[in-house]
A = this chain, B = another copy of it.
Amino acid sequence: MTSKIGYLGPEGTFSQQAAIHQLESLPSDSSCLRAYPTIALLLSAVDSEDVQYGVVPAENSIEGSVNITLDMLANELNLYIHKEIVLGIKHHLLTYAPTLNKIHTVMSHPHALAQCRLFLQKKLPHANLVDTNSTSEAVLKVSSKSIGTAAIASKNCHLVYQVPILAENIGDFSHNQTRFWVVGKQPSLLEKTLKTSLVLSMEKDRPGSLYNTLGEFAKHNINLTRIESRPAKKELGNYIFFIDCEAGQDNPGLKQVLDTLCKKTSFLKILGSYNISHY
Protein backbone atom coordinates (compact mmCIF):
# COMPACT_ATOMS: atom_id res chain seq x y z
CA MET A 1 0.00 0.00 0.00
CA THR A 2 1.23 3.45 -0.85
CA SER A 3 1.16 5.57 2.27
CA LYS A 4 0.93 9.11 1.00
CA ILE A 5 1.89 11.94 3.31
CA GLY A 6 0.64 15.44 2.56
CA TYR A 7 2.51 18.58 3.61
CA LEU A 8 2.22 22.35 3.22
CA GLY A 9 4.15 22.99 0.03
CA PRO A 10 5.75 23.93 -2.20
CA GLU A 11 9.01 21.99 -1.89
CA GLY A 12 11.50 23.30 0.62
CA THR A 13 9.10 24.30 3.44
CA PHE A 14 9.73 23.40 7.06
CA SER A 15 6.51 21.39 6.73
CA GLN A 16 8.22 19.24 4.04
CA GLN A 17 11.18 18.77 6.37
CA ALA A 18 8.83 17.49 9.08
CA ALA A 19 7.04 15.27 6.54
CA ILE A 20 10.39 13.69 5.55
CA HIS A 21 10.96 12.78 9.22
CA GLN A 22 7.48 11.18 9.34
CA LEU A 23 8.21 9.29 6.10
CA GLU A 24 11.45 7.93 7.55
CA SER A 25 9.57 6.61 10.59
CA LEU A 26 7.14 4.52 8.51
CA PRO A 27 7.90 0.91 7.52
CA SER A 28 6.84 1.04 3.85
CA ASP A 29 9.40 1.92 1.17
CA SER A 30 6.74 2.92 -1.29
CA SER A 31 5.54 5.87 0.79
CA CYS A 32 5.58 9.19 -0.96
CA LEU A 33 5.06 12.86 -0.22
CA ARG A 34 2.56 15.20 -1.79
CA ALA A 35 2.55 19.01 -1.48
CA TYR A 36 -0.63 21.05 -0.88
CA PRO A 37 -0.81 24.83 -1.38
CA THR A 38 -2.74 25.65 1.83
CA ILE A 39 -3.35 24.11 5.26
CA ALA A 40 -7.10 24.04 4.54
CA LEU A 41 -6.62 21.96 1.38
CA LEU A 42 -4.10 19.70 3.11
CA LEU A 43 -6.44 18.92 6.02
CA SER A 44 -9.35 18.39 3.62
CA ALA A 45 -7.19 15.87 1.70
CA VAL A 46 -6.64 13.90 4.93
CA ASP A 47 -10.37 14.03 5.61
CA SER A 48 -11.23 12.68 2.16
CA GLU A 49 -8.41 10.07 2.49
CA ASP A 50 -6.50 11.33 -0.54
CA VAL A 51 -3.49 11.02 1.76
CA GLN A 52 -3.04 8.82 4.80
CA TYR A 53 -1.36 11.48 6.92
CA GLY A 54 -1.08 15.25 6.80
CA VAL A 55 1.81 17.12 8.44
CA VAL A 56 0.60 20.55 9.57
CA PRO A 57 2.23 23.31 11.63
CA ALA A 58 0.40 23.76 14.95
CA GLU A 59 2.47 26.21 16.99
CA ASN A 60 5.66 28.20 16.80
CA SER A 61 7.61 29.16 19.92
CA ILE A 62 7.71 32.83 18.83
CA GLU A 63 4.54 33.48 16.86
CA GLY A 64 2.19 31.23 18.77
CA SER A 65 -0.56 29.07 17.34
CA VAL A 66 -1.29 28.48 13.70
CA ASN A 67 -4.93 29.52 13.89
CA ILE A 68 -6.21 27.85 10.74
CA THR A 69 -4.92 24.46 11.98
CA LEU A 70 -6.58 24.84 15.38
CA ASP A 71 -9.83 26.20 13.96
CA MET A 72 -10.22 23.46 11.34
CA LEU A 73 -9.43 20.62 13.78
CA ALA A 74 -11.83 22.05 16.37
CA ASN A 75 -14.74 23.16 14.22
CA GLU A 76 -14.69 21.71 10.73
CA LEU A 77 -13.12 18.25 10.51
CA ASN A 78 -12.87 15.15 12.68
CA LEU A 79 -9.21 14.20 12.40
CA TYR A 80 -6.80 12.77 14.96
CA ILE A 81 -3.26 13.69 15.93
CA HIS A 82 -0.90 10.69 15.64
CA LYS A 83 2.42 12.31 16.42
CA GLU A 84 4.06 15.60 17.27
CA ILE A 85 7.25 16.60 15.46
CA VAL A 86 9.25 19.49 16.92
CA LEU A 87 11.65 21.15 14.47
CA GLY A 88 14.33 23.73 15.26
CA ILE A 89 13.80 26.69 12.91
CA LYS A 90 16.69 28.68 11.40
CA HIS A 91 16.04 31.51 8.94
CA HIS A 92 18.45 32.66 6.22
CA LEU A 93 18.36 35.47 3.67
CA LEU A 94 18.29 33.96 0.15
CA THR A 95 18.99 36.34 -2.74
CA TYR A 96 20.97 36.87 -5.94
CA ALA A 97 21.92 40.37 -4.70
CA PRO A 98 25.66 40.59 -3.95
CA THR A 99 25.21 42.93 -0.95
CA LEU A 100 22.40 43.96 1.41
CA ASN A 101 22.18 47.50 0.02
CA LYS A 102 21.04 46.17 -3.37
CA ILE A 103 17.88 44.65 -1.85
CA HIS A 104 14.63 46.63 -2.17
CA THR A 105 12.09 43.87 -1.37
CA VAL A 106 12.07 41.03 1.15
CA MET A 107 9.44 38.31 0.80
CA SER A 108 8.42 35.50 3.13
CA HIS A 109 5.65 33.93 5.14
CA PRO A 110 4.39 36.57 7.65
CA HIS A 111 5.71 34.49 10.59
CA ALA A 112 9.21 34.35 9.11
CA LEU A 113 9.16 38.11 8.44
CA ALA A 114 7.99 38.73 12.00
CA GLN A 115 10.70 36.45 13.41
CA CYS A 116 13.41 38.46 11.64
CA ARG A 117 11.95 41.88 12.48
CA LEU A 118 15.00 43.21 14.36
CA PHE A 119 17.38 42.09 11.61
CA LEU A 120 15.16 43.72 8.96
CA GLN A 121 14.81 46.98 10.93
CA LYS A 122 18.56 47.22 11.45
CA LYS A 123 19.99 45.93 8.18
CA LEU A 124 17.21 46.54 5.64
CA PRO A 125 15.14 49.42 7.06
CA HIS A 126 14.00 50.65 3.63
CA ALA A 127 13.11 47.28 2.13
CA ASN A 128 9.53 46.65 1.14
CA LEU A 129 8.19 43.61 3.07
CA VAL A 130 5.87 41.33 1.11
CA ASP A 131 3.86 38.43 2.59
CA THR A 132 3.76 35.09 0.77
CA ASN A 133 1.85 31.88 1.55
CA SER A 134 5.04 30.01 2.42
CA THR A 135 8.77 30.56 2.72
CA SER A 136 9.26 28.43 -0.42
CA GLU A 137 6.86 30.57 -2.45
CA ALA A 138 9.05 33.56 -1.55
CA VAL A 139 12.19 31.76 -2.78
CA LEU A 140 10.40 30.71 -5.99
CA LYS A 141 9.55 34.37 -6.62
CA VAL A 142 13.11 35.50 -5.89
CA SER A 143 14.47 32.90 -8.29
CA SER A 144 12.39 34.40 -11.12
CA LYS A 145 12.50 38.10 -10.23
CA SER A 146 15.09 40.86 -10.38
CA ILE A 147 18.27 40.85 -8.35
CA GLY A 148 16.84 43.36 -5.84
CA THR A 149 14.52 40.82 -4.18
CA ALA A 150 15.31 38.50 -1.28
CA ALA A 151 13.48 35.72 0.57
CA ILE A 152 13.67 34.56 4.17
CA ALA A 153 13.71 30.78 4.16
CA SER A 154 15.36 27.56 5.34
CA LYS A 155 18.59 25.89 4.26
CA ASN A 156 16.36 23.22 2.72
CA CYS A 157 14.93 25.91 0.41
CA HIS A 158 18.43 27.02 -0.54
CA LEU A 159 19.26 23.43 -1.50
CA VAL A 160 16.04 22.89 -3.46
CA TYR A 161 15.95 26.18 -5.38
CA GLN A 162 19.69 26.92 -5.53
CA VAL A 163 19.26 30.58 -4.53
CA PRO A 164 22.42 31.74 -2.70
CA ILE A 165 22.42 32.55 1.04
CA LEU A 166 23.62 36.14 1.65
CA ALA A 167 23.10 36.21 5.44
CA GLU A 168 22.85 33.17 7.72
CA ASN A 169 20.69 32.66 10.78
CA ILE A 170 19.04 36.08 10.78
CA GLY A 171 16.23 35.25 13.24
CA ASP A 172 15.79 37.49 16.29
CA PHE A 173 15.35 34.61 18.74
CA SER A 174 17.67 31.74 19.52
CA HIS A 175 15.01 29.24 20.69
CA ASN A 176 12.88 29.11 17.59
CA GLN A 177 10.97 25.86 17.23
CA THR A 178 7.80 24.77 15.46
CA ARG A 179 5.47 21.97 16.52
CA PHE A 180 4.02 20.00 13.64
CA TRP A 181 1.16 17.56 14.03
CA VAL A 182 0.86 14.39 11.96
CA VAL A 183 -2.91 13.96 11.57
CA GLY A 184 -4.95 11.07 10.19
CA LYS A 185 -8.60 10.22 9.57
CA GLN A 186 -8.64 7.46 12.22
CA PRO A 187 -7.45 7.65 15.85
CA SER A 188 -3.94 6.37 16.55
CA LEU A 189 -3.76 2.74 17.73
CA LEU A 190 -0.77 3.42 19.99
CA GLU A 191 -1.58 2.44 23.56
CA LYS A 192 1.32 4.08 25.34
CA THR A 193 1.33 7.81 24.66
CA LEU A 194 2.75 10.77 26.53
CA LYS A 195 0.44 13.57 25.66
CA THR A 196 -3.23 14.28 24.91
CA SER A 197 -4.74 17.33 23.18
CA LEU A 198 -8.33 18.35 23.56
CA VAL A 199 -10.59 21.29 22.88
CA LEU A 200 -13.55 22.36 24.98
CA SER A 201 -15.89 25.19 25.76
CA MET A 202 -18.02 25.99 28.76
CA GLU A 203 -21.77 26.68 28.88
CA LYS A 204 -21.26 29.97 30.67
CA ASP A 205 -18.22 31.67 29.28
CA ARG A 206 -16.99 32.84 32.66
CA PRO A 207 -13.41 32.08 33.63
CA GLY A 208 -14.79 30.80 36.95
CA SER A 209 -15.72 27.78 34.84
CA LEU A 210 -12.30 27.70 33.21
CA TYR A 211 -10.87 27.75 36.74
CA ASN A 212 -13.03 24.75 37.67
CA THR A 213 -12.04 22.91 34.49
CA LEU A 214 -8.33 23.37 35.20
CA GLY A 215 -9.04 22.16 38.73
CA GLU A 216 -10.11 18.76 37.37
CA PHE A 217 -6.65 18.21 35.89
CA ALA A 218 -4.94 19.53 39.05
CA LYS A 219 -7.02 17.11 41.18
CA HIS A 220 -5.51 14.16 39.27
CA ASN A 221 -2.00 15.64 39.21
CA ILE A 222 -2.02 15.95 35.44
CA ASN A 223 0.20 18.74 34.21
CA LEU A 224 -1.04 20.97 31.42
CA THR A 225 1.65 22.01 28.96
CA ARG A 226 -0.49 24.48 27.06
CA ILE A 227 -3.76 26.30 27.26
CA GLU A 228 -4.84 28.46 24.39
CA SER A 229 -8.04 30.39 23.85
CA ARG A 230 -9.56 30.92 20.41
CA PRO A 231 -12.74 32.78 19.59
CA ALA A 232 -15.84 30.56 19.39
CA LYS A 233 -16.62 32.64 16.27
CA LYS A 234 -19.75 34.01 17.91
CA GLU A 235 -19.77 37.26 19.90
CA LEU A 236 -16.65 38.76 21.44
CA GLY A 237 -15.95 37.14 24.80
CA ASN A 238 -17.01 33.65 23.67
CA TYR A 239 -14.03 31.28 23.59
CA ILE A 240 -13.05 27.69 23.05
CA PHE A 241 -9.95 26.38 24.85
CA PHE A 242 -7.23 24.11 23.49
CA ILE A 243 -5.56 22.11 26.23
CA ASP A 244 -2.50 19.86 25.96
CA CYS A 245 -1.78 17.64 28.94
CA GLU A 246 0.99 15.27 29.99
CA ALA A 247 -1.11 12.11 30.08
CA GLY A 248 -1.71 9.35 27.55
CA GLN A 249 -5.08 7.80 26.75
CA ASP A 250 -4.25 4.85 29.03
CA ASN A 251 -3.88 7.16 32.05
CA PRO A 252 -6.74 6.33 34.47
CA GLY A 253 -6.71 9.87 35.93
CA LEU A 254 -7.24 11.35 32.49
CA LYS A 255 -10.19 9.01 31.93
CA GLN A 256 -11.80 10.39 35.09
CA VAL A 257 -11.08 13.98 34.07
CA LEU A 258 -12.70 13.38 30.69
CA ASP A 259 -15.77 11.73 32.29
CA THR A 260 -16.25 14.78 34.52
CA LEU A 261 -15.60 17.28 31.72
CA CYS A 262 -18.15 15.50 29.52
CA LYS A 263 -20.83 16.58 32.00
CA LYS A 264 -19.43 20.03 32.78
CA THR A 265 -18.62 21.35 29.31
CA SER A 266 -20.87 22.33 26.43
CA PHE A 267 -18.36 21.06 23.88
CA LEU A 268 -15.51 18.56 24.28
CA LYS A 269 -13.42 16.99 21.55
CA ILE A 270 -10.33 14.80 21.89
CA LEU A 271 -7.84 15.77 19.18
CA GLY A 272 -5.55 12.82 19.90
CA SER A 273 -3.10 11.05 22.19
CA TYR A 274 0.42 10.87 20.84
CA ASN A 275 4.18 10.92 21.36
CA ILE A 276 6.73 13.57 20.44
CA SER A 277 9.87 13.48 18.26
CA HIS A 278 12.43 16.29 18.37
CA TYR A 279 14.70 17.17 15.43
Q: How far is the CB of A10 from chain B (nearest CB, A)?
A: 15
A window 219-238: CB within 8 A of B? 223-231, 233-238
Given A114-B68, A229-B226, is A211 in contact with B214 using a C-beta cutoff of 8 Å? yes
- Residue contact A237 to B231, C-beta cutoff 8 Å: no
Residues in B neighbouring A177, C-beta threshold 8 A? 235-236
Which of chain B's residues has its CB closest to A245's CB? B207
Whether a CB of chain B sits under 8 angstroms from the CB of A256 is: no
Of the candidates B62, B229, B234, the one whose C-beta lies within 8 Å of that of A229 is B229
Across the interface, which residues of B come within 8 angstroms of A252, CB to CB? Answer: none
Q: Number of A residues whose C-beta is below 8 Å from B?
A: 43
Q: Which residue of B lies closest to A62 (CB)?
A: B233
Q: Which residue of B lies closest to A205 (CB)?
A: B225
The smallest C-beta distance from A202 to any residue of chain B, in angstroms, reads 12
**With A214-B214, A217-B207 as given contacts, are A179 and B236 in contact (CB-CB < 8 Å)?**
yes
Known contacts A114-B68, A225-B237, A237-B226; is-contact A61 B211 (Cβ 8 Å): no
Contact of A63 with B231 at beta-carbon distance under 8 Å, contacts A179-B236, A207-B223, A237-B225 already known: yes
A218 within 8 A of B: yes
Q: Which residues of B contact A98 (CB under 8 A)?
A: none
Query: Closest residue of chain B to A207, judged by CB?
Result: B224
Q: Do B207 and A60 touch (CB < 8 A)? A: no
Q: Which residues of B contact A64 (CB under 8 A)?
A: 67, 229-231
Known: A61-B238, A211-B214. 8 other contacts (CB 8 A): A60-B231, A62-B231, A175-B236, A207-B214, A210-B224, A210-B227, A211-B215, A226-B237
Q: List 25 A-B contacts (CB under 8 A).
A: A40-B117, A59-B231, A61-B231, A61-B234, A61-B238, A64-B67, A110-B131, A131-B131, A175-B235, A177-B236, A179-B236, A207-B218, A207-B227, A208-B218, A210-B214, A211-B211, A211-B217, A214-B214, A225-B237, A226-B237, A226-B239, A227-B229, A227-B239, A228-B229, A229-B229
